[in-house]
Amino acid sequence: MQRTYLAFQHNAKLHALQTVVTAVRSVATLEEANKGLFKQAQEDDHVVVTEQTIFHPQGGGQPSDVGVMKGSDGTSFNVAMVRMSAVNDGEVLHFGKFTTASSIFKAGDTITQHIDIEKRLIYSRYHTAGHVLGSAVRHLLEKEVANFDELKASHFPDSAACEFQGLIEGKWKDVIQARVDEYVSKDMPVEIDWWDENDFKANGLERLIPDRKAMGMTDDEKFRVVNIVGAEVYPCGGTHVDSTQGCGKTNVKKISRAKGTSRVSYLLP
């Protein structure tokens, strides 16, 4: 099975893309592992696989894009959720419904993908803001909090937060807010680059080297990184705004602590 080319990782400003359908399956015929990826799906929903995609699959803390695919004959498929296959490495599954049950795509059809631009923008703002927050907390507290490390993050608008190893006291909230405000106001460029292990080492970031085998990557593939110039670099496959100012006002909501970890939540207007 050919891996889906992730066009959005190379040009996040592509809002429409012509590509070729490689497979169409009803959700009812999917493997159980893939059925479980979209629990809201109904039995008459379908999955469409294409050679390329501009739809960001849910992952890395970022929600999936939504939108529509259209065929030249008027056939239309509403994309409600996008996930990486749990069965075929690198295959992107577009879950959704055809607008007319009697008219569906077939393998080999040329179609055009269209993403919901407004949702892509808010997801990109939240994702970048999460990295800005993570960077601010690291720079402030890496040497102040015992056993500090960045763990994971959610960039979903209704549950956006960054989690850290170590206990961050509430007294740091205003200090973190001030540093986040500083980074946003500085309008730091947000650049996408591609690194191998030697690039991480050359920048003193060995701790960030991803597990190549776990990601199903070949030895000659490079890792995608997002560089918030002047702040931090993160391995990241998500979509982003062009600069920190594009995040808009990023409000630090609260700091919660449990079982040796801390969760700093945030909200965008």
Q: Where are the domains of the chain?
A: 5-115, 120-267
CA torsion sign, 193 to 196 to 197 to 203? negative
CATH code for the part of the protein at 120-267: 3.30.980.10
* Region of residue 166 (left: phi > 0; alpha: psi -120 to 50; beta: else): left
Q: What is the pTM of this model?
A: 0.94
Residue by residue, pLDDT tens for the chain (269 residues) are 689 999 999 999 999 999 999 999 999 999 999 999 998 898 789 999 999 999 999 999 999 999 999 999 999 999 999 999 999 999 999 999 999 878 999 999 999 999 999 999 999 999 999 999 999 999 999 999 999 999 999 999 999 999 999 999 999 999 999 999 999 999 999 999 999 999 999 999 999 999 998 887 888 999 999 999 999 999 999 999 999 999 999 999 999 999 999 999 999 99
* 120-267 and 5-115 share a CATH fold: no
Helix (H/G/I), strand (E/B), else coil: 125: helix
- For 199-249, how does the pLDDT look when each residue is reduced to its tens digit (9 = 90+)? 999 999 999 999 998 887 888 999 999 999 999 999 999 999 999 999 999
Eight-class DSSP state of 185: H
Is the distance from CB of 220 to CB of 198 less than 8 angstroms? no
What is the C-alpha to C-alpha distance for residues 262 and 251, in angstroms, rounded to an integer?
A: 17
- Residue 215 is predicted with a pLDDT of 82
CA pair distance 98, 62, nearest whole angstrom: 25
Looking at domain 5-115, its CATH class is mainly beta
172-186 pLDDT per residue, tens: 999 999 999 999 999
pLDDT for residue 2 = 84
